[in-house]
């Protein structure tokens, strides 16, 4: 006989006594089981991938013996043993009595409390083996609830002034009970001097160690215990406890001298009055039906779980019966047959149905080798000009102020405008305004509402902490108020002012000690709260608005959003109304472009997250809601097909709406709940209330309610589980009550209903999800693959046909997914999900009559990947880098499949593929390569987040304000959208991998760009750009979250520390070194967080070439540091005004210091002096003074006058005039002589003349020249000259003209390592395309390397490129700035002014996976070595460290400029 009660039917199948193991506490006796099985017809049905067997109703289900059920009872006969007496304060007394148990009976604990209240509850548990953790006894009084699986809570019974409770403990392993007592109505806890009450139970007599009891007797005793306890449903764990408790009781009796035979007689008499004998063969010639069921199940499993027709099902049952009959005829007893079934020894002949379809039966799917380029989607939305988004039906008119807004305006004026706080709360479709003012030092609270029914304010004041209820002082009570204990009540008054019809109240509080006012409202006996909580008004000065003003709607489709706000009161009636209104507005949204569809998404998301009212006083049939969903999603799928640039937004909208489906599917919601009630005899209470809600207005809440019921039933009818599921999904008790047909009761089912309820509610969940949950995987698969459900009684069945044209392997892929959807090893599941998405991908970009269902399936697959990844984090805790990288590639693939304009994501995906291959092949550089891909992936995620923020957040803020959405929900709107997608999971995985890569690649936590030891005060800023013109009065260490590369460093700054990744040779990096500012990138988020937390502190920053240490210091060290810096000589800088020399254009051999700047002269100087393999581009120039000469021409007189006026405004520190000056310079006309001279010089130098291609080409060149001149008035450049007190009028601009080399790569060299100051090594950075992405504000890192000057052919790569964008251009001309300000020693003038190509560069998303510089080691070594050799040659020519720019084209190197390294 099995000695474990807890085995399931399918694990241990049958125990030796002939009772199925999982029916131990259901069957009355062995004989009754057999007899009843013979009498009961059995319903058999194979359905889908499951065998559904309707079990026979056993005799115990129809008649219950009159046995005692444990419950809390009133008692007047007190037990004799007083275990403890306690005073709980005042007149409250606790007495505990323990009655020692007789053999086989339970120990009784009686607890009585002298207490006036009516809501005492015992919070308790058992103590076993001296362990502190409570065990939960299986025998519990009626009304007991499990609290968080850690304790039991049992209510006391009230008798006069005494509360009583009786507990029976029959588990001999429990040695004591511990408890606390709580008055739940007052949240008041009674403890034993701060500890638990501890009551020891009488010890059982010691058992004889070698005694044993036959298992069949233990089983009968366990059955008798089960009967005695009211035939409760036990979990497997509880069954085991009960079984061992039964054994202990029998062993106690044996220990006291009872013989086994006496036990057997006593137990069998108690059980059925007869002896236990094995039935004779003649009694059992017919095989019991339970054995036939199990054998049928085994056959079905061996056949591959096929979907049998009804005829095949019957045939299978008969085959199973005959197999068992043959065993019986061979002489096997029923017990022996049971054992054979358990061991699988019954001979079975079945033909496997799915032998040809092995895909979904395998442990792991074989993924196809795919070209990721096939999933590139370059469709990007173009934002429609807001000015062109015009409401064709109505012009947008300002809305008149509402009654409460007029009231607020009047009170604000009355109290002199001193408003501390303003709150607007929604009361269904009405508003409650609360205005806090402080005229003449007194706090005034004004409340007003357009609520029509009489209203009472139940309120208090908070003195010590917010939300605390303290009784208001008498002088604060308005006339007619009633003072209560701890609160007050005041009736609202009707306003006498005809301009606004409101109910209002004014409360004046003289005391300054109160922090705020908590309150609730009461109308017609109903309490009104703030989403289930008290309302609360803070009296403090408001730091930020509780509800933002609507604003001007900038960055939104304002006309559409205003119309949505106008229609909201109609939309609140029901989902049918909301979806139909959305369908009516969808074409206007489409015409408004990306912003219009963003507005629809924001509205639908506010709905889905329950920020808007779902139903209000309107009865609508489920089929009507379903039809409205169907109409809306049909329009959305049409736009998806015709406007591919909006697909990502449309997917998000569809996921908030749900699938819908006209006709039967919607109506089944209404019909099936009636069938559930009828089948399970649950027509009252909570089920009837839910039924009424479903009939009145079904919603996505019903999916959660159904799940809560299923969880409640599965967890042994634990009501705590029911509420946990509801609350975890945002449904509170208040929300249940708020429905038009409110749900007031908790579920209360009979235990014998368990199996049928689980079955019926499980089927019903599928119907609910089919309508409400478009992203539900199972229903989405069924809608695509087709299914048929037969109706019952008056119900009509439903049939959905499979989608045509699906790939042949697709059904097997989906079966594989469903089979593995709950696997702990999520890697296998995610592979299957992605393979299914890849197979689906081509179908989503083609017209299809079932496109909507395909989309919902893809959304569901996408969602399941995300949840699987979150479930799989634990799997990665001890994983190596290869596994984490593989998971990253899987999530990135999922994100790319869901994104518009995904080219960057796809190239990142290819990068991870290459990095994984490098790791597997033991490449030395795998970690460096992976780090570059990680950095690029982070940039791609940041770009995606910024895109969402710019498109969605303005609409969320404007519409949220219009609709009165809670401000906290508005503030995090975009953040929650991002967190709900794959991007958040991907970011988490990247953060997990980053430190591993940095450690492996020996990168450390810092990259030091400018190594200077400094002391300063920490200031944290978001962007360096926003403070670049600021002047700090104290030495400042800036911790900046964002540094792009072109910013100025503010005066007073001694260090810039950032997590951003500017290139070491970017403009801002060069200027940091020139300005003697410490500059470094921090890769460790923990270090960065610590620095940010040090804001305001004085720190010493001490860098080394590869690391930074920092420590807090005192003011004295700051003075020492200041003295050290003050001793350094700051050179005096002056500019010499340059004059026009009479020449509009000169060739390179005419370059002199009076004509051009150092940039032009250096190019001229190196020409002919470097090795022949180094190319120098041909150059001419427009010398100094040409701009001023052009401005003085008569044709430009008007421009000159306007420029003079704007310069005067600039001297008056009107810095907005800088932009106007630049725009004015662009209006200059070119003198004919300038055109003629420039053409002559360019043609004689062998350069192409733009005018030869037409007048338009010359105009492009002339515009580029003017843009170079205009850059003299760039904000960055202007403030830089002001900072060093240079006379801006003396700054002159020559223009260097060069033919652009359409570069494969561009580079910058510093011939002395700028990070370490090591003059023995060259440092260089390389990018694909033009060099502007290296020196300008383009995100990502360049390839960086060093090369020792004594070994130039052995470059060492420090980092691979992560820049996503490269700039490429046709054969063209570039016009470079060459000012006299760039020649000054000690002044970082380089890079302040613009170089402008005649043609616009093309931005190209870069694919490094096939770039020879990345994948060909020999090519990389050759290119990097040639760059290092060129740097060495130029440094040798000048005799000093050089800052060099150049390009590589078809393997040949060109130098385009050089200057002294600063």
Strands (DSSP E) contained in 298-452 are 419-427, 430-437, 443-449
Residue 1447 near residue 1303, CB atoms below 8 Å: yes
Q: Are strands 151-155 and 120-128 parallel, antiparallel or unpaired?
A: antiparallel
The whole-angstrom separation of Cα 1051 and Cα 1280 is 10
* DSSP per-residue letters across 504-521: EEEEEE--S---EEEEEE
**Strand partners of residue 1321:** 1348
Query: Which tokens hold the place of 1049?
Result: 């460093």
Please choose, from the candidates 1462, 1426, 1431, 1425, the residue with its C-alpha nearest in 3D space to the C-alpha of residue 1445: 1431
Q: Which H/E stretch holds residue 1239? A: helix 1232-1244
Please choose, from the candidates 825, 828, 817, 824, the residue with its C-alpha nearest in 3D space to the C-alpha of residue 864: 817
Q: How many CB atoms lie within 10 A of CB 1206?
A: 21
Q: Which residues contact 220 (CB under 8 A, 6 or more apart)?
A: 267, 268, 271
Q: Residue 1372, exposed/middle/buried by CB under 10 A (0-12, 13-18, 19+)?
A: buried
Q: Residue 1147, exposed/middle/buried by CB under 10 A (0-12, 13-18, 19+)?
A: middle
Per DSSP, the three-state class of 1284 is: coil
Whole-Å CA distances, 796 to 584, 789, 790: 31, 9, 7
Backbone Cα Rg of the chain: 41
Residue 240 near residue 218, CB atoms below 8 Å: no
Please choose, from the candidates 177, 183, 179, the residue with its C-alpha nearest in 3D space to the C-alpha of residue 191: 179
The whole-angstrom separation of Cα 499 and Cα 415 is 18
Tell me whether residue 7 is one of the annotated catalytic residues.
no
Q: How many CB atoms lie within 10 A of CB 345?
A: 12
Query: Which tokens hold the place of 913?
Result: 């593929």
Q: Are strands 1078-1082 and 1051-1058 parallel, antiparallel or unpaired?
A: parallel
Q: How many CB atoms lie within 10 A of CB 126?
A: 20
Longest dimension (CA), the chain: 131
Per DSSP, the three-state class of 1453 is: strand
| Opening angle at CA 774, ends 768 and 775, nearest 5 | 110
Residue 1379 near residue 1394, CB atoms below 8 Å: no
The whole-angstrom separation of Cα 137 and Cα 237 is 12
Q: Are strands 1452-1460 and 1442-1449 parallel, antiparallel or unpaired?
A: antiparallel
Whole-Å CA distances, 612 to 411, 426, 700: 29, 10, 13
Residue 1035 near residue 1121, CB atoms below 8 Å: yes
The whole-angstrom separation of Cα 930 and Cα 990 is 11
Q: Which residue has the tokens 């306007």?
A: 1202
Q: Which among 123, 446, 577, 1067 is annotated as catalytic?
A: 1067
Q: Provide the CA 626 distance to its chain's centre, in angstroms.
A: 29
Per DSSP, the three-state class of 1149 is: helix
Whole-Å CA distances, 20 to 15, 33, 1326: 6, 9, 75
Query: Which tokens hold the place of 603?
Result: 């509205």
The whole-angstrom separation of Cα 854 and Cα 841 is 10
Residues recognised as catalytic: 1067
């Amino acid at each position: 006989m099995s000695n474990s009660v807890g085995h399931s039917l399918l694990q241990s199948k049958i125990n030796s006594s002939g009772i199925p193991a999982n029916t131990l506490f259901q069957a009355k006796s062995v004989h009754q089981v057999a007899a009843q099985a013979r009498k009961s017809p059995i319903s058999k049905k194979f359905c889908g991938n499951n065998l559904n067997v309707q079990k026979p109703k056993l005799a115990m289900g129809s008649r219950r013996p009159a046995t005692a059920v444990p419950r809390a009872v009133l008692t007047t006969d007190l037990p004799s043993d007083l275990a403890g007496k306690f005073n709980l304060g005042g007149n409250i007394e606790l007495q505990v009595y323990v009655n020692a148990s007789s053999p086989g009976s339970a120990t009784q604990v009686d607890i009585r409390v002298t207490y006036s209240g009516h809501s005492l509850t015992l919070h308790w548990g058992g103590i076993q083996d001296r362990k502190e953790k409570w065990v939960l006894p299986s025998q519990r009084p009626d009304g007991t609830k499990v609290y968080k699986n850690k304790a039991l809570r049992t209510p006391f019974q009230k008798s006069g002034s005494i509360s009583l409770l009786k507990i029976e403990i029959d588990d001999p392993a429990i040695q004591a009970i511990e408890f606390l007592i709580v008055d739940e109505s007052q949240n008041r806890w009674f403890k034993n001097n701060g500890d638990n009450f501890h009551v020891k139970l009488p010890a059982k007599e010691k058992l004889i160690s070698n005694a044993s009891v036959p298992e069949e007797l233990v089983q009968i005793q366990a059955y008798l215990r089960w009967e005695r306890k009211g035939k409760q449903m036990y979990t497997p764990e509880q069954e085991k406890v009960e079984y061992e408790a039964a054994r202990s009781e029998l062993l106690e009796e044996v220990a006291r001298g009872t013989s086994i035979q006496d036990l057997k007689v006593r137990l069998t008499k108690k059980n059925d009055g007869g002896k236990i004998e094995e039935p004779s063969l003649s009694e059992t010639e017919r095989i019991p039906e339970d054995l036939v069921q199990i054998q049928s199940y085994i056959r079905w499993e061996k056949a591959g779980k096929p979907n049998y027709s009804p005829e095949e099902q019957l045939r299978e049952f008969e085959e199973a019966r005959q197999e068992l009959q043959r065993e019986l005829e061979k002489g096997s007893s029923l017990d022996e047959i049971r054992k054979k079934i358990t061991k699988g020894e019954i001979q079975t002949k079945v033909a496997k149905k799915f032998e040809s379809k092995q895909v979904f039966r395998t442990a792991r799917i074989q993924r196809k080798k795919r070209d990721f380029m096939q999933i590139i989607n370059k469709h990007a939305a173009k934002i429609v000009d807001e000015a062109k988004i015009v409401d064709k039906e109505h012009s947008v008119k300002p809305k008149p102020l509402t009654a409460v807004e007029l009231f607020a305006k009047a009170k604000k004026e009355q109290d002199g405008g001193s408003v501390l706080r303003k709150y607007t709360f929604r009361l269904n479709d009405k508003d409650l305004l609360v205005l806090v003012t402080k005229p003449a030092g007194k706090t005034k609270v004004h409340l007003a509402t357009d609520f029509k029914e009489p209203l009472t304010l139940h309120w208090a004041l908070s003195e010590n902490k917010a939300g605390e209820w303290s009784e208001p002082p008498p002088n604060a009570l308005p006339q007619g108020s009633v003072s209560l204990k701890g609160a007050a009540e005041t009736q609202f008054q009707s306003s006498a002012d005809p301009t606004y019809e409101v109910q209002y109240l004014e409360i004046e509080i003289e005391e300054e000690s109160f922090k705020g006012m908590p309150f609730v409202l009461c109308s017609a006996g109903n309490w009104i709260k703030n989403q289930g909580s008290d309302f609360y008004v803070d009296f403090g000065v408001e730091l930020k608005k509780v509800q933002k003003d609507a604003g001007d709607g900038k960055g939104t489709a304002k006309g559409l959003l205003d119309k949505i706000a106008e229609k909201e009161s109609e939309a609140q009636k029901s989902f049918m109304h909301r979806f139909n209104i959305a369908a009516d507005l969808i074409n206007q949204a489409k015409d408004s472009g990306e912003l219009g569809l963003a507005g629809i998404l924001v509205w639908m998301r506010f709905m889905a997250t329950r920020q808007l009212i779902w139903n209000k006083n309107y009865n609508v049939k489920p089929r009507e809601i379903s039809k409205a969903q169907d109409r809306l999603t049909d329009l959305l799928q049409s736009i998806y097909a015709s406007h591919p640039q909006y697909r990502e937004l449309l997917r998000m909208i569809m996921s908030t709406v749900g699938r819908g489906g006209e006709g039967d599917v919607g109506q089944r919601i209404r019909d099936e709940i009636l069938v559930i009630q009828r089948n399970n005899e649950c027509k009252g209470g909570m089920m009837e209330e839910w039924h009424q809600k479903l009939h009145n207005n079904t919603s996505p809440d019903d999916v959660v309610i159904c799940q809560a019921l299923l969880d409640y039933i599965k967890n042994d009818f634990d009501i705590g589980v029911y509420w946990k599921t509801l609350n975890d999904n945002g449904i509170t008790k208040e929300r249940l009550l708020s429905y038009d047909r409110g749900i007031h009761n908790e579920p209360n089912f009979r235990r014998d209903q368990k199996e049928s309820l689980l079955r019926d509610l499980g089927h019903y969940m599928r119907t609910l999800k089919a309508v409400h949950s478009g992203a539900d995987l199972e229903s989405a698969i069924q809608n695509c693959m087709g299914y048929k459900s037969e109706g019952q009684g008056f119900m009509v069945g439903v049939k959905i046909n499979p989608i045509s044209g699906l790939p042949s392997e697709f059904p097997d892929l989906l079966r594989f997914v469903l089979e593995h959807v709950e696997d702990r090893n999520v890697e296998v599941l995610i592979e299957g999900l992605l393979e299914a998405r890849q197979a689906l991908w081509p179908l989503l970009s083609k017209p299809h009559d079932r496109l909507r269902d395909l989309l919902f399936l893809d959304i569901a697959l996408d969602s399941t990947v995300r949840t699987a990844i979150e479930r799989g984090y634990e799997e990665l805790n001890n994983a190596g880098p290869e596994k984490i990288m593989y998971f990253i590639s899987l999530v990135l693939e999922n994100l790319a499949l869901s994104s518009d304009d995904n080219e960057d994501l796809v190239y990142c995906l290819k990068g991870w593929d290459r990095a994984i291959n490098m790791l597997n092949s033991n490449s030395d550089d795998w970690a460096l390569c992976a780090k570059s891909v990680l950095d690029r992936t982070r940039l791609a995620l940041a770009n995606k987040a910024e895109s969402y923020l710019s498109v969605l957040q303005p609409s969320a803020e404007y519409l949220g304000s219009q609709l009165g959405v809670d401000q906290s929900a508005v503030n995090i709107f975009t953040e929650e959208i991002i967190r709900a997608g794959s991007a958040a999971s991907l970011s988490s995985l990247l953060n997990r991998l980053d430190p591993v890569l940095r450690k492996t690649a020996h990168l450390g936590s810092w990259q030091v760009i400018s190594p200077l030891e400094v002391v300063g005060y920490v200031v944290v800023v978001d962007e360096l750009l926003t403070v670049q013109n600021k002047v700090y009065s104290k030495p400042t260490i800036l911790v900046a979250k964002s540094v792009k590369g072109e910013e100025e460093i503010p005066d007073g700054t001694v260090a810039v520390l950032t997590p951003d990744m500017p290139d070491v040779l970017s403009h801002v990096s060069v200027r940091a070194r020139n300005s003697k500012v410490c500059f470094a990138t921090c890769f460790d988020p923990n270090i960065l967080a610590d620095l940010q937390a040090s804001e305001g502190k004085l720190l010493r920053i001490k860098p080394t070439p590869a690391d930074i240490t920092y420590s807090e210091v005192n003011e004295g060290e700051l003075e020492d540091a200041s003295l050290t810096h003050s001793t350094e000589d700051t050179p005096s800088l002056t500019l010499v005004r340059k004059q026009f020399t009479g020449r509009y254009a000169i060739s390179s051999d005419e370059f002199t210091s009076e004509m051009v700047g150092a940039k032009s002269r250096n190019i001229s100087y190196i020409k002919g002096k470097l090795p022949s393999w180094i190319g120098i581009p041909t150059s001419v120039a427009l010398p100094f003074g040409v701009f001023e000469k052009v401005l003085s021409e008569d044709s430009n007189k008007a421009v000159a006058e306007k420029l003079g006026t704007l310069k005067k405004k600039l001297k008056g520190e009107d810095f907005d005039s800088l932009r106007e000056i630049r725009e004015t310079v662009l209006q200059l006309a070119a003198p004919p002589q300038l055109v003629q001279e420039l053409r002559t010089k360019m043609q004689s130098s062998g350069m192409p003349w733009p005018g030869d291609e037409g007048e338009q080409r010359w105009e492009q060149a002339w515009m580029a020249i003017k843009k170079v001149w205009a850059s003299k008035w760039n904000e960055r450049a202007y403030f830089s000259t002001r900072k060093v007190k240079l006379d801006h009028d003396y700054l002159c601009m020559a223009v260097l003209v060069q033919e652009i080399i359409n570069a494969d790569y561009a580079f910058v060299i510093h011939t002395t390592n700028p990070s370490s100051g090591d003059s023995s090594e060259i440092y260089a950075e390389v990018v694909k395309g033009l060099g502007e992405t290296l020196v300008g504000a383009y995100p990502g890192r360049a390839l960086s390397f060093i090369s020792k000057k004594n070994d130039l052919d052995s470059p060492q790569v420090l980092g691979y490129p992560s820049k996503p964008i490269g700039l490429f251009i046709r054969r063209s001309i570039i016009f470079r700035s060459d000012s006299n300000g760039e020649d000054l020693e000690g002044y970082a003038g380089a890079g302040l002014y613009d170089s402008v190509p005649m043609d616009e560069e093309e931005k190209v998303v870069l694919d490094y996976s096939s770039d020879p510089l990345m994948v060909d080691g020999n090519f990389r070594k050759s290119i990097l070595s040639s760059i290092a050799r060129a740097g060495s040659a130029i440094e040798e020519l000048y005799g000093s460290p050089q800052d060099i720019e150049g390009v590589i084209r078809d393997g040949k190197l060109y130098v385009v400029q050089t200057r002294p390294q600063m």
